[in-house]
Amino acid sequence: MPYAQTSFFVEPWLKYKKPIVRQLAFAIASPNILSSIPSELSIAHSFNLHTNEHWQEHYKNYESRLEQLDLDSTELDIFLSKLKSTRLGLRFEMFFWFWLLDDKYHYYKLIEHSIQIIDGPKTVGELDFLIFNNKENRIEHWEVALKYYLAEKDFSLPFWYGLNRSDTFARKLNHFTQKQFQFSHVLEQEISHKFAVMKGQLFLPKYHLNEMHPAWINPARRLGTWGTTILPPSEEFYRLSRQEWICPDLQKTSETARWWTDGLYFQRKNQHHYMYRNTHLLTP
């Protein structure tokens, strides 16, 4: 059946004033872009997804802390200043690291972050987070990813492309199941459950929104659209800065678009994200 997107979204991250706090709130509160593991994915090592309710619960428990940080974000600013890279995925991972260390607000205890698995002279893998779940009394492995994929052709898994043409949804999920979730024992701990925390946004072709869409798209997460044609100026899109891909700032950070380059554009009135791509990038 065609994808039916809800008309109401729970997006509490938009209420915060400071950009860094809005981004932290998005990291915690936003649902996964997947509602289920795609059936077309060949599973080598199984993994799970958290429910939408899981993230809503953790946001509610953390809301008072976010309000404090919105008044004074010094602690968060200092923590994020340790990151020297401009990569959004690493910045996103830092927000989770900060939250997991804030263990007065949840039932997790961070055992270790960024664990390298060494076999002789070779690094055979790396784990983002190894966590003890006090509520369930178990060890969990989380892989955290911030991804933006746009759909082409028949919307099947291999035809969702990221910013880099070689970065496809299929490749990322295959990497999860074949490589990243291959370990069952780490740091003398037996891993009970493995979770992919995969957030960001998916983009559908602007003129194909009513076509059949995969059942694994999470309807709780707002979709964007994409195209290679310039939208009418009356739609008032402006280009988002790099960090605003996580969450747009409260105030506009650029003028309404009069010309277009590759990247993500935003319409504040309708909370609409539009990915503009030059046609030469769409060739295999």
pLDDT for residue 6 = 46
pLDDT tens, 185-195?
A: 999 999 999 99
The rounded distance, in Å, linking the Cα atoms of 25 and 151 is: 27
- Backbone torsion region of residue 275, taken as left when φ is above 0, otherwise alpha when ψ lies between -120 and 50, otherwise beta: beta
% of the chain with per-residue pLDDT over 70: 93
The rounded distance, in Å, linking the Cα atoms of 99 and 108 is: 10
pLDDT tens, 248-259?
A: 999 999 999 888
pTM of the predicted protein model: 0.93
- Return the domain boundaries, the chain: 12-282
Q: Which residue has the higher pLDDT, 261 or 29?
A: 29
Q: State the average pLDDT over residues 147-162.
A: 92
Q: State the average pLDDT over residues 214-243.
A: 90
Q: State the average pLDDT over residues 270-284.
A: 78
Angle between helices 88-101 and 19-29 (to 10 degrees): 80
Residue from 64, 70, 57 nearest 23 by CA: 70
pLDDT for residue 280 = 62
Q: State the average pLDDT over residues 224-239.
A: 86
The rounded distance, in Å, linking the Cα atoms of 230 and 209 is: 17
Longest Cα–Cα distance in the chain = 60
The rounded distance, in Å, linking the Cα atoms of 151 and 175 is: 19
If you ran DSSP here, which 8-state letter would residue 106 be given? S
User: Tokens 């990497």 map to which residue?
Assistant: 175
Q: Which residue has the higher pLDDT, 283 or 187?
A: 187
The rounded distance, in Å, linking the Cα atoms of 106 and 189 is: 21
pLDDT for residue 232 = 75
Is the pLDDT score of 282 beyond 70?
A: no
The rounded distance, in Å, linking the Cα atoms of 154 and 119 is: 41
Q: State the average pLDDT over residues 61-66.
A: 98
Is the pLDDT score of 184 beyond 80?
A: yes
Residue 106 · residue 117 · CB < 8 Å:
no
Which of the four pLDDT bands, split at 50, 70 and 90, describes residue 209? low
pLDDT tens, 12-29?
A: 999 999 999 999 999 999
From residue 71, alpha-carbon distances to 37, 80, 83, 141, 203 in Å are 39, 17, 22, 33, 34
Strand bridging mode 272-276 / 224-227: parallel
Which of the four pLDDT bands, split at 50, 70 and 90, describes residue 8? confident
Mean pLDDT of the chain: 91
The rounded distance, in Å, linking the Cα atoms of 75 and 54 is: 26
Residues present in the chain in total: 284
* CB contact set of 160 (below 8 Å; sequence gap of 6+): 149, 150, 151, 152, 168, 169, 170, 202
pLDDT for residue 235 = 80
